[in-house]
Copies of this chain bind each other. A is one copy, B any other.
Amino acid sequence: MTQTLKTKTPASALEQLLAATKDGMDQVNSLILSRAESHVEIVPKLARYLIESGGKRLRPMLTIATAQMFSKSAPNAVYFAAAVEFMHNATLLHDDVVDESEMRRGKPAARMVWGNQASVLVGDFLLGQAFLMMVETRDLDALNILSKAATVIAEGEVFQLSKVSDLTTSAKEYDLVIRSKTATLFEAATKVGAMAGGASEAEQEALGLYGAELGRAFQLVDDALDYGGINGILGKNTGDDLREGKMTLPIILALKSANKNEHATIVSALGKQDLDDKDLRQIIAILNEQNTLGQTLDEAKQSVEKAKQALNQLPKSNMVNLLADIADFCLLRAS
């Protein structure tokens, strides 16, 4: 795998996965479009605005990929994949309302165009449609996994909210937040894919573990990127977590190891909505000084290793190699 990593650009693993799942994803994409339809005009307009805004669709792709690993034709996988993407998009709509986010995927968040109210309700609609698609498969075990995931995700989001600007938040609590709000859906996506493909229980577990660790790594990298990552490149949304008072690992670790002055500087910046670039650079300097972005990425690396180890339990195949590359890709985003 390490060799593969060296010879590939970050994007190419994703491009290869896209190519390998193309037929399934074409079906998923048309199912997504048809299920976003409604006699209420604003529903498909808002839903499509978000859905077609250039997300990577990594979660549904993982569902299709894990199903394909075991079966050439797994019609349920298409439904699960679309349901997973709808659940993800419902979460994004609600998150943007909760976080008062102004941007999403480089364009104004849906709530800035259609309002908070429509965003909440169209999120509910997508969640309902997700369940309806799952029910259509009549696979109760998959339904159980996905509805459990919906609950755990919401629970994780509330937990995160309850910890906003809470200086006592521990790394362990942060871990629970990201495992709930992010890893759970990745885990569900890979597990129901494997189920749809007819994998054995051990294989389902292995792919579920892969998904969970991949999702954890993904969120850790995201949280490091929110401070510009290792290279400290500031983008449009850089510093948003800090402005929102989100207790992510880079900040939690820095609060622990910082000296008195640095500690005070972090505390004064946390939750400061009108934080400017100068404030932000000051915080990033402290995070670099304490190497907490590095430590956060080390945590991500550990999860990537666990994800790849989980894949070792599966018969060797091109798809398994691709999933390992996807785990590496996840880290490369941050470097």
Residues on A lying within 8 angstroms of B by beta carbon are 38-43, 90, 94, 97-98, 116-118, 120-122, 124-125, 127-129, 131-132, 134-135, 138, 140, 143-144, 147-148, 150-155, 157-159, 161-162
Contacts and interface: CB of A to CB of B under 8 A. Distances in A.
A162 B114 CA distance: 10
B97 A120 contact: yes
Given A98-B117, A98-B120, A38 B128 contact: no
Nearest to A93: B120
Given A40-B155, A155-B38, A158-B40, A150 B135 contact: no
State the number of copies, please. Answer: 2
Given A40-B155, A158-B43, A124 B150 contact: yes
A43 B98 contact: no
A131 B150 contact: yes
B120 A159 contact: no
Given A42-B162, A121-B98, A128 B157 contact: no
Contacts of A147: 128, 131-132, 134-135
A19 B135 CA distance: 35
Given A94-B121, A128-B153, 12 more contacts: A38-B158, A39-B155, A40-B155, A42-B162, A90-B124, A98-B120, A122-B154, A122-B158, A124-B150, A129-B151, A132-B144, A135-B140
A91 to B, nearest CB: 8
Listed from nearest, the 5 A-B pairs whose CB atoms lie closest are A128-B151, A128-B150, A125-B154, A124-B154, A131-B147
Select the residue from A94, A122, A151, A152 with max chain B CB neighbours within 10 A: A151
